């Protein structure tokens, strides 16, 4: 194992997959420099034809990636901020998502759309969203949201090799998070949740940055309540079986995610727990999510985004 | 390029087949056998056939929604049976009966069709990018309507195709109408080809009723693209004989379209006028024309029977189609 950080793990995944398969290329706004460092330095190794800087034109970036994918390439389109993916809604949610199905399976779209999501930087409503629910809602798109360097590298490599469109949301609040990854090559399969901490009293299903907040809260509460923290790692496919197995053990569950509360990821996971694990529940499912407001900027941000105290309150609500 | 006799006859035959398949699709809709909707392409056969007939098998092509691409597809070598069976919702349709009116055949360079107007631009950019990366001198011929030209996606794709010198031929089928919206109220200039100058690419206007004028202009653009000199824009002036979609009112805004104007265009019908020219030049005889028509009629009868006899899709196909293996 070796020590690295989240953004370097992402870059390593790109580097290794570009090395392995010449059909893989990166396309996006200023990817040669790399806004978040995830694609930086790759142009020195692979050249500008495989690390393609584009003008500020999101429909062109996503559309070019979708078209090239259909024609046999494996593009990784870096949409920079996840918020910007809305601009290319047709290309992402209609073309990439539906064209394999719509055309009777005759064409495939092996594409990765990656983008930085999430708050914590106080940069407001158009640079802080976690549009997971809209992607999870769209039939035909897979969705990976890693919380650790290990998961980030392994999931991204799997995403690039998948023959379907995969949205890969990395959290910009986790870019510097350290962690260990193997020296040798590895992949993290889709649809396998990871138990980040074992516990027996309460299950917290947490995604992305919420995993770290939940682990901190679990540690803080360890003398009072034994918290199990489960990270689904991919939301589509979703490993509901691992979640239900944990709920069967604890009987109590909190779902924590940074997307908005209404029709958000927590709604979906909470409802699936109701459908598949109602008999194991000793308390109503609690959820922790962003308020149903745009993500405010500056000092106001923390009043919108889910905070550790909200996770504590939710755990206490189900545990008592 | 100077066309040989058999090439000229092929163009004429493709136009005849295109018109007859269009008519057959309308008949199917009227009889309740075509399940979704249909946007007739009658009037623009010369553009469809002239633009596509001389492409290489591995070139990419996107015909737009008028005629649901019939002319473009037949000219690229597509199977009329699969086209209409898809409209019938049958398992033998091009997309297994799932799309209802789209066609895809990667072997022919037809990678799909869209339901959102203007989405042709970014996706074509990707196909053009792939063509350039493949380094096999492939081209991408991408056809859009005057309605699509109003989308902002045009700008992003035109701009990048030119900056990256992609082998794309952008073709505008300007029939003057976007559903019920006349182009004069949607675009400030007369010619959409004028846009090309802003992207540093050639832009030409051709008579879209003249198949030879179309093929000449498109082939010049194709040659330029194959040589690595980048994209071009060809605008063809055409007419839409019928309403926007079968059964919808044929209006300009909310007032009936001028029948006189349509009749005037019909006097220059692309099929009839090309036939007259070929007869006059002695390339065709009346007997040839009869034979071409009879063969096309026989093909249509076969297509219709195939569609009628084909089974509906099995519902189990739906879940299987969500993801590629």
- Nearest Cα to Cα of residue B277 among B210, B206, B208: B210
Compare CB distances from A67 to B94, B129, B321 and report the shortest one's residue: B129
**pLDDT at B295 > cutoff 80:** yes
Mean pLDDT, range B152-159, rounded to an integer? 98
The verdict on B91 touching A (C-beta cutoff 8 Å) is no
At residue B104, does pLDDT exceed 90? Answer: yes
CB pairs under 8 A between A and B: 142
Determine contact, residues A270/A247, Cβ cutoff 8 Å.
Answer: no
From chain A, the residues in CB contact with B153 under 8 A are: 59-60, 63, 90
A100 a catalytic residue: no
Pick B122's closest partner by Cβ from A63, A140, A164: A63
Indicate the pLDDT class of residue B2, thresholds 50, 70 and 90.
confident
The tens digit of pLDDT for each residue in A8-58 reads: 999 999 999 999 999 999 999 999 999 999 999 999 999 999 999 999 999
Closest residue in chain B to residue A165, using alpha carbons only: B323
pLDDT in tens, B165-192: 999 999 999 999 999 999 999 999 999 9
Q: Which of A73, A95, A107 sits opposite B104 (nearest CB)?
A: A107
Which is nearest to B169 in space by CA: B196, B150, B148, B189?
B196
Query: What would the 3-class secondary structure string for A62-80 be?
Result: HHHHHHHHHCCCEEEEEEE
Cβ distance of A67 and B130 shorter than 8 Å: yes
Q: Distance between CA A96 and CA A77 in Å, rounded?
A: 12
pLDDT for residue A223 is more than 80: yes
Q: How far is B45 from chain A (nearest CA, A)?
A: 25
Across the interface, do A64 and B131 touch by the CB < 8 Å criterion? Answer: no
Residue of chain B whose alpha carbon sits nearest to that of A236:
B323
User: What SS3 state is found at A4?
Assistant: strand
Q: Give per-residue pLDDT as tens, A148-188.
A: 999 999 999 999 999 999 999 999 999 999 999 999 999 99
- Write down the pLDDT at residue A213: 98
Tell me the C-alpha to C-alpha distance, in Å, between residue A274 and each of A271, A302, B311. Answer: 5, 30, 40
Chain A residue with the nearest C-alpha to that of B129:
A68
Average pLDDT over residues B306-312: 98
Do the interacting molecules here have an ipTM over 0.85?
Answer: yes
CA-to-CA distance for B35 and B26, rounded, in angstroms? 11
Say what angle helices B5-30 and B45-52 make with each other, to 10 degrees: 130
Is the full-model pTM beyond 0.80? Answer: yes
Q: Which residues of A fall within a CB distance of 8 Å from B160? A: 54-55, 57, 60, 64
> Does B321 lie at the interface with A, CB-CB under 8 angstroms?
yes
Structure tokens, B193: 């080809």
Interval A108-156: pLDDT, tens: 999 999 999 999 999 999 999 999 999 999 999 999 999 999 999 999 9
CA distances from B202 to B11, B12, B169, B227, B316 (A): 25, 28, 10, 14, 49
* B1 band by pLDDT with thresholds 50, 70 and 90: confident
Percentage, residues of chain B above pLDDT 70: 100
Whether the predicted pLDDT of B135 surpasses 80: yes
**Is the CB of residue B95 less than 8 Å away from at least one CB of chain A?**
yes
| Nearest-CB residue to A103 (from B95, B133, B157) | B95
Phi, psi at A124, each rounded to 5°: 85, -175
Best of B93, B113, B123 to substitute, by most chain A Cβ atoms within 10 angstroms, is B123
Rounded CA gap, A99 and A111, in Å?
Answer: 12
**% of chain A exceeding 70 in pLDDT:** 100
Query: Quick one: which H or E segment has residue A285?
Result: none
């Amino acid at each position: 194992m070796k020590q690295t950080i989240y953004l370097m793990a992402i870059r390593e995944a790109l580097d290794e997959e570009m090395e392995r398969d010449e059909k893989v290329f990166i396309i996006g706004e200023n990817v040669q420099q790399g806004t978040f460092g995830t694609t930086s330095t790759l142009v020195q190794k692979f050249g500008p034809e495989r690390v393609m800087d584009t003008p500020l034109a999101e429909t062109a970036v996503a559309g070019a990636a979708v078209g090239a994918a259909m024609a046999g390439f494996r593009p990784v389109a870096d949409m920079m901020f996840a918020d910007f993916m809305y601009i290319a809604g047709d290309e992402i949610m209609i073309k990439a998502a539906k064209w394999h199905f719509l055309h009777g399976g005759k064409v495939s779209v092996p594409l990765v759309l990656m983008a930085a999501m999430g708050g914590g930087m106080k940069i407001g409503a158009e640079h802080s969203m976690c549009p997971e629910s809209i992607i999870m809602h769209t039939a035909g798109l897979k969705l990976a949201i890693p919380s650790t360097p290990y998961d980030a590298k392994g999931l991204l490599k799997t995403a690039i090799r998948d023959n379907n469109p995969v949205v890969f949301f990395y959290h910009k609040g986790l870019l510097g998070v350290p962690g260990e990854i193997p020296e040798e090559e590895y992949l993290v399969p889709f649809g396998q949740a990871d138990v980040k901490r074992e516990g027996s009293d309460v299950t917290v299903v947490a995604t992305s940055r919420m995993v770290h907040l939940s682990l901190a809260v679990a540690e803080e509460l360890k003398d009072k309540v034994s918290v199990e923290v489960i990270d689904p790692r991919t939301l589509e496919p979703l490993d509901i079986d691992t979640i239900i197995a944990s709920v069967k053990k604890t009987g109590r569950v909190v779902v924590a995610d940074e997307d908005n509360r209404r029709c958000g990821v927590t709604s979906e996971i909470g409802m699936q727990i109701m459908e598949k694990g109602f008999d194991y529940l000793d308390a109503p499912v609690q959820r922790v999510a962003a308020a149903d407001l745009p993500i405010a900027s500056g000092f106001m941000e923390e009043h919108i985004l889910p905070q550790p105290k909200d996770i504590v309150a939710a755990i206490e609500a189900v545990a008592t | 390029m100077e066309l040989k006799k058999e090439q000229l006859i092929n163009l004429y035959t493709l136009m005849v087949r295109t018109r007859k398949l269009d008519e057959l699709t309308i008949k199917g809709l009227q009889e309740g056998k075509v399940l979704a909707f249909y946007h007739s392409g009658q009037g623009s056969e010369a553009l469809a056939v002239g633009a596509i007939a001389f492409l290489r098998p591995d070139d990419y092509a996107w015909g737009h929604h008028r005629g649901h691409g019939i002319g473009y597809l037949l000219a690229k070598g597509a199977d009329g049976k699969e086209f209409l069976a898809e409209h019938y919702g049958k398992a033998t349709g091009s997309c297994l009966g799932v799309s209802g009116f789209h066609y895809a055949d990667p072997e022919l360079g037809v990678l799909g069709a869209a339901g959102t107007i203007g989405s042709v631009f970014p996706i074509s950019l990707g196909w053009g990018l792939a063509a350039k990366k493949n380094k096999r001198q492939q081209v991408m011929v991408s056809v859009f309507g005057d309605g699509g030209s109003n989308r902002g996606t045009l700008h992003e794709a035109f701009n990048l195709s030119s900056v990256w010198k992609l082998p794309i031929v952008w073709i505008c089928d300007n029939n003057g109408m976007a559903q019920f919206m006349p182009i004069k109220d949607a675009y400030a200039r007369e010619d959409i080809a004028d846009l090309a100058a802003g992207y540093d690419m050639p832009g030409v206007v051709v008579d879209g009723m003249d198949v030879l004028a179309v093929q000449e202009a498109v082939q010049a653009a194709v040659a330029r693209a194959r040589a690595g000199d980048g994209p071009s824009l060809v605008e063809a002036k055409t007419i839409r004989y019928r309403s926007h979609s079968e059964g919808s009112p044929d209006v300009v805004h909310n007032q009936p379209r001028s029948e006189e104007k349509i009749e005037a265009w019909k006097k220059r019908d692309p099929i009839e006028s090309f036939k007259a020219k070929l007869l006059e030049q002695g390339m065709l005889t009346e007997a040839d024309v009869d034979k071409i028509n009879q063969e096309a009629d026989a093909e249509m009868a076969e297509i219709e029977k195939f569609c009628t006899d084909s089974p509906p899709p099995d519902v189990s196909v739906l879940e299987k189609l969500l993801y590629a293996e």
